């Protein structure tokens, strides 16, 4: 219960208006229901001719009798006078019409009660969804190597859904059912406090039994949702790895793994749903038992003639009491749903409450970049092993620095820690003697343009993919950038030119085409610092030469960090740093390094053919 109130406190405030409207209409519904059921008293009295009493009209004002007695008396007076004047059958018809009108009002009001709860439900869910999305955008890259993508998708879809159901139920629970139950109990107390006292002893016993069934539900739900997350991760993997799965004929293996998880999830769902379904028959049975007890108890009192209540009123009393069963049943069912929702909320909160470790400094220093970038004794690790080990590196403004080394030596990592995609653990990176941790992250990242090892494109047009990194760009600028990146021709060859959609992650393009689009994007952004991580690795030698020419123009007088396997592409760099296991083992210009006959020479010679072809 505390959990759900906490959730509501967090998410309801923007919807206060709807909450009060729903509350008002639910209250109205309960009152109208009590009155519409009340028509049963005169109906029974007419049918069984039990009323031998005669009634006098009591003036509404200026009487010292209780209001409820006046109402009952005057209604009775009106009914008896109707019977006297028009006869029993006509009176019944009038009562039936009154019943219909009352019920119409009641159901209309109940409808409006739910009508105003709907925007609350959809609103809360929308807020949670948006919160997760924005949180994902703000969290550092490091967070996602541990949390699998499919699992996050499961949270955004499955768990938010669970919360939706539970929020909906809890709203009913908090705004509708208790109101109904309270109003009914009050009516019952007015009708006969003795019987009601008796009921109040029996009801809590029933609630206690119901509560026992609901235990453990939250735990099993949590486990089931985790399993669901796992399954979604697998689907995500299957989708992105379909090519490899087919190539290695691993369909069976993947299928088995999925079926296994899927079956486990099914078993868990069975257990949860069965337990939840138990709420319905349990409450019905227990409700009927209580009614039977009250029927027997009250009936004996009436039969025993020490009647505290007349027969017609007793039947009315029972109908009111019976009306409690439904909200009570809903109450218990929603209490179970809430358990599931709470489990999901916990999983969602693992994302929402995740601490963002890469944040802006409290007092940011104004960014300037006039002199240099400095890596000073930088140590970095992703998990347990140091990946960058005490690197010192100075990049003067306007210089092109190349990072070379074997696969896994830490080149991409060196480039990723500069825009603070990851924060280093020891040492510092400085731009013009200002630690990058003292800069505003957005300003820092705006300084740079990335062309990555695997180009990241979006399911959008060529045009928008190139214009992605800039606020405004004219068409001519975009075409110019595409021309420089040697992408204009193949773009124009597509059906709609720049307005052609490139598919999910650029799936409709070749690897080299993707790379050229991502180069065009960097060219358009025209950043002060250019980071090229294997920017041309997917191009054939011919297009590479064309793009390389374009990049050479771009790199001229611009600070550039370039990472390349093909050493021929970096031979003109102002400085080449050779990385080995996270350390810079050699650095200098190509000719001096090559002449040293060290590690770099070995790397070059391994690519011998290429080197000679490029006339070293
Ligand atoms: N997200 C990550 N989480 C954990 N470890 C990582 C992560 N990314 C890279 N590593 C590890 O860090 C080391 C350096 O990786 P990095 O990507 O910097 O190498 P690289 O020099 O760019 O290699 P390549 O030439 O193959 O691109 C590797 O041993 C790799 O296993
Ligand atoms: Mg790399």
**HEC profile for 96-121?**
HHHHHHHHHHHHHHHHHHHHHHHHHH
Q: Cβ neighbours of residue 399 under 8 Å, at least 6 residues apart?
A: 559, 560, 574, 575
**CB neighbours (10 Å) of residue 348?**
21
Same domain, 87 and 152: yes
Task: Tell me, using a 6 A CB cutoff, whether residue 408 lines ligand 1.
Answer: yes
Between residues 127 and 62, the one the model is more confident about: 127
How far apart are the CA of 480 and the centre of ligand 1, in A?
34
Q: Is the pLDDT of residue 65 over 80?
A: no
| Tokens read off for 22 | 């729903």
Q: Is the pLDDT of residue 225 over 50?
A: yes
Q: Is the pLDDT of residue 611 over 50?
A: no
Q: Is the pLDDT of residue 393 over 90?
A: yes
Q: How confident is the model at residue 330 (pLDDT cuts 50, 70, 90)?
A: confident
Same domain, 322 and 411: no
pLDDT in tens, 178-216: 888 888 889 888 888 888 888 888 777 777 776 666 666
Same domain, 309 and 407: no
Q: Return the ligand number nearest the Cα of 408.
A: 1
CA distance 76 to 196: 24
Average pLDDT value over all residues in the chain: 84
Would residue 514 count as lying in a domain? no
Per DSSP, the three-state class of 365 is coil
Task: Tell me, using a 6 A CB cutoff, whether residue 170 lines ligand 1.
Answer: no
CA distance 59 to 261: 74
**CB neighbours (10 Å) of residue 19?**
18
Would residue 12 count as lying in a domain? yes
Q: Cβ neighbours of residue 504 under 8 Å, at least 6 residues apart?
A: 459
Q: How confident is the model at residue 317 (pLDDT cuts 50, 70, 90)?
A: confident
For residue 589, give the nearest of 402, 406, 414, 407 by alpha carbon.
402
Report in angstroms the alpha-carbon separations of 244 from 133, 140, 232, 238, 513. Answer: 30, 29, 19, 9, 21
How far apart are the CA of 417 and the centre of ligand 2, in A?
13
Q: Is the pLDDT of residue 167 over 60?
A: yes
Domain boundary pick from 323, 352, 381: 352
Task: Tell me, using a 6 A CB cutoff, whether residue 150 lines ligand 1.
Answer: no
Would residue 531 count as lying in a domain? no
Q: How many residues does the chain have?
A: 616
Task: Tell me, using a 6 A CB cutoff, whether residue 387 lines ligand 1.
Answer: yes
**Average confidence (pLDDT) over 412-417:** 93
Residue 95 and residue 46 in contact, taking contact as beta carbons nearer than 8 Å: yes
How far apart are the CA of 269 and the centre of ligand 2, in A?
43
CA distance 89 to 183: 32
Same domain, 259 and 119: yes
Q: Using the atom order of ligand 1, give the atom closest to the CA of residue 582.
A: 14
Task: Tell me, using a 6 A CB cutoff, whether residue 384 lines ligand 1.
Answer: no
How far apart are the CA of 389 and the centre of ligand 2, in A?
17
How far apart are the CA of 406 and the centre of ligand 2, in A?
9
How far apart are the CA of 414 and the centre of ligand 2, in A?
9
Closest Cα to atom 10, ligand 1: which residue? Answer: 382
Q: 3-state SS of 427-440?
A: EEEEECCEEHHHCC
Between residues 250 and 175, the one the model is more confident about: 250
pLDDT given at position 613: 43
Would residue 558 count as lying in a domain? no
* CATH number of the structural domain spanning residue 386: 3.40.50.300
Would residue 491 count as lying in a domain? no
Task: Tell me, using a 6 A CB cutoff, whether residue 566 lines ligand 1.
Answer: no
CA distance 235 to 151: 10
Q: Using the atom order of ligand 1, give the atom closest to the CA of residue 579.
A: 21
Q: Return the ligand number nearest the Cα of 410.
A: 1
Closest Cα to atom 28, ligand 1: which residue? Answer: 408
Closest Cα to atom 17, ligand 1: which residue? Answer: 412
Environment class of 93 (CB within 10 Å of its CB; exposed 0-12, middle 13-18, buried 19+): exposed
Closest Cα to atom 12, ligand 1: which residue? Answer: 387
| Tokens read off for 457 | 């494109």
Would residue 539 count as lying in a domain? no
Which of 413, 532, 579 is the best mutation target for the ligand 1 pocket, counting ligand atoms within 8 Å of the beta carbon and taking the most? 413
Domain boundary pick from 352, 387, 411: 352
**Average confidence (pLDDT) over 144-154:** 75
Which of 383, 410, 578 is the best mutation target for the ligand 1 pocket, counting ligand atoms within 8 Å of the beta carbon and taking the most? 410
Same domain, 45 and 184: yes
Would residue 407 count as lying in a domain? yes
Task: Tell me, using a 6 A CB cutoff, whether residue 582 lines ligand 1.
Answer: no
How far apart are the CA of 412 and the centre of ligand 1, in A?
7
For residue 334, give the nearest of 206, 169, 175, 159 by alpha carbon.
169
Q: Using the atom order of ligand 1, give the atom closest to the CA of residue 411.
A: 21
Task: Tell me, using a 6 A CB cutoff, whether residue 383 lines ligand 1.
Answer: yes
Rounded to a whole number of angstroms, the distance between the first and last alpha carbons of the chain is 76
The structural domain count of the chain equals 2
Q: Return the ligand number nearest the Cα of 387.
A: 1
Task: Tell me, using a 6 A CB cutoff, whether residue 409 lines ligand 1.
Answer: yes
DSSP β-bridge partners for residue 448 = 529
Same domain, 344 and 427: no
Task: Tell me, using a 6 A CB cutoff, whether residue 411 lines ligand 1.
Answer: yes
How far apart are the CA of 88 and the centre of ligand 1, in A?
92
Q: What is the CA 133 to chain-centroid distance, rounded?
A: 7
**Average confidence (pLDDT) over 543-554:** 76
pLDDT in tens, 370-380: 999 999 999 99
> Which residue range(s) make up the domain with 223?
2-352
Closest Cα to atom 7, ligand 1: which residue? Answer: 382
Closest Cα to atom 16, ligand 1: which residue? Answer: 410
Closest Cα to atom 6, ligand 1: which residue? Answer: 382
Give kind and range of the element (H or E) at residue 539: none
Q: What is the CA 335 to chain-centroid distance, rounded?
A: 22
Virtual CA dihedral for 558, 564, 566, 572, nearest 10 degrees? Answer: 20
| Tokens read off for 224 | 């089931």
Same domain, 341 and 379: no
Same domain, 441 and 313: no
* CATH number of the structural domain spanning residue 244: 1.20.1560.10
Q: Cβ neighbours of residue 210 under 8 Å, at least 6 residues apart?
A: 279, 282, 283, 286, 332, 335
How far apart are the CA of 565 and the centre of ligand 1, in A?
14
**CB neighbours (10 Å) of residue 328?**
22
Q: Is the pLDDT of residue 616 over 50?
A: no
Task: Tell me, using a 6 A CB cutoff, whether residue 412 lines ligand 1.
Answer: yes
Long-range contacts of 303-312 (CB under 8 A, 24+ apart): 308/192, 308/194, 308/195, 309/191, 309/192, 309/195, 310/50, 311/44, 311/48, 311/50, 312/40, 312/41, 312/44, 312/45, 312/48, 312/50
Same domain, 396 and 319: no
Query: Which of 68-72, 239-243, 295-299, 553-557 is predicted least confidently?
Result: 68-72
**CB neighbours (10 Å) of residue 429?**
22
Would residue 560 count as lying in a domain? no
Domain boundary pick from 324, 352, 380: 352
Q: How confident is the model at residue 87 (pLDDT cuts 50, 70, 90)?
A: confident
* Cα 84–Cα 87–Cα 89 angle in degrees, nearest 5: 145
Q: Is the pLDDT of residue 241 over 60?
A: yes
How far apart are the CA of 406 and the centre of ligand 1, in A?
11
Same domain, 253 and 169: yes
pLDDT in tens, 258-280: 999 999 999 999 988 888 777 77
Closest Cα to atom 4, ligand 1: which residue? Answer: 382
CA distance 352 to 128: 9
Task: Tell me, using a 6 A CB cutoff, whether residue 407 lines ligand 1.
Answer: yes
How far apart are the CA of 515 and the centre of ligand 2, in A?
15
Residue the block writes with tokens 């396997």: 565
**Average confidence (pLDDT) over 547-565:** 83
pLDDT given at position 425: 94
Same domain, 340 and 400: no
How far apart are the CA of 422 and the centre of ligand 1, in A?
12
Same domain, 380 and 348: no
């Amino acid at each position: 219960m505390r959990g759900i109130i906490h959730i509501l406190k967090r998410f309801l405030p923007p919807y206060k208006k709807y909450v009060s409207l729903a509350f008002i209409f639910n209250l109205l519904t309960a009152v109208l229901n009590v009155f519409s059921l009340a028509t049963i008293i005169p109906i029974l009295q007419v049918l069984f001719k039990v009323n031998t009493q005669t009634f006098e009209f009591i003036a509404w004002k200026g009487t010292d009798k209780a209001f409820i007695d006046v109402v009952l008396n005057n209604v009775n007076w009106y009914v008896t006078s109707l019977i006297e004047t028009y006869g029993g059958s006509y009176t019944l018809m009038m009562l039936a019409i009154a019943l219909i009108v009352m019920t119409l009002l009641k159901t209309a009001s109940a409808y409006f009660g739910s009508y105003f709860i709907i925007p609350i439900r959809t609103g809360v869910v929308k807020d949670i969804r948006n919160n997760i999305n924005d949180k994902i955008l703000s969290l550092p890259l490091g967070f996602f190597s541990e949390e699998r993508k499919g699992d996050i998708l499961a949270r955004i879809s499955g768990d938010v859904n669970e919360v939706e159901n539970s929020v909906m139920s809890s709203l009913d629970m908090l705004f509708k059912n208790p109101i109904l139950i309270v109003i009914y109990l009050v009516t019952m107390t007015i009708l006969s406090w003795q019987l009601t006292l008796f009921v109040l002893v029996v009801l809590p016993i029933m609630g206690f039994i119901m509560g026992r069934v609901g235990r453990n539900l939250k735990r099993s739900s949590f486990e089931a949702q985790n399993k669901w997350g796992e399954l979604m991760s697998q689907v995500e993997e299957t989708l992105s790895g379909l090519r490899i799965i087919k190539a290695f004929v691993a369909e069976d293996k993947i299928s088995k793994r999925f079926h296994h998880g899927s079956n486990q999830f099914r078993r868990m769902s069975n257990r949860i749903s069965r337990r939840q379904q138990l709420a319905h028959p349990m409450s019905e049975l227990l409700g009927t038992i209580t009614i039977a007890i009250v029927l027997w108890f009250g009936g004996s009192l009436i039969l025993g003639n020490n009647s505290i209540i007349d027969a017609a009123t007793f039947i009315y009393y029972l109908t009111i009491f019976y009306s409690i069963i439904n909200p009570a049943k809903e109450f218990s069912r929603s209490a179970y749903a809430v358990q599931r929702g709470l489990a999901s909320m916990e999983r969602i909160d693992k994302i929402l409450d995740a601490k963002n470790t890469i944040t802006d400094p409290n007092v940011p220093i104004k960014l300037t970049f006039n002199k240099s970038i400095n890596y000073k004794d930088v140590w970095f690790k992703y998990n347990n092993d140091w990946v960058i080990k005490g690197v010192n590196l100075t990049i003067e403004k306007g210089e092109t620095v190349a990072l070379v080394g074997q696969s896994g030596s830490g080149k991409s990592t060196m480039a990723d820690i500069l825009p603070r995609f990851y924060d280093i653990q020891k040492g510092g990176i400085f731009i013009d003697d200002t630690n990058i941790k003292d800069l505003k992250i957005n300003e820092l990242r705006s300084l740079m343009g990335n062309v990555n090892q695997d180009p990241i494109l979006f399911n959008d047009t060529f045009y928008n993919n190139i214009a992605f990194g800039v606020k405004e760009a004219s068409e001519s600028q975009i075409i110019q950038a595409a021309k420089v990146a040697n992408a204009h021709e193949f773009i124009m060859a597509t059906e709609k030119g720049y307005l052609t959609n490139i598919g999910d992650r650029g799936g409709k393009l070749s690897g080299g085409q993707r790379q050229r689009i991502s180069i065009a994007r960097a060219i358009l952004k025209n950043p002060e610092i250019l980071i090229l991580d294997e920017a041309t690795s997917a191009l054939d030698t011919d297009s590479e030469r064309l793009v390389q020419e374009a990049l050479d123009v771009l790199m001229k007088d611009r600070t550039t960090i370039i990472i390349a396997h093909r050493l021929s592409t970096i031979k003109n760099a102002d400085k080449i740093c050779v990385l080995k296991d996270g350390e810079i083992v050699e650095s200098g210009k190509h000719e001096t390094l090559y002449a040293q006959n060290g590690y770099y020479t070995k790397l070059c010679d391994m690519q011998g053919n290429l080197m000679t072809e490029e006339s070293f």
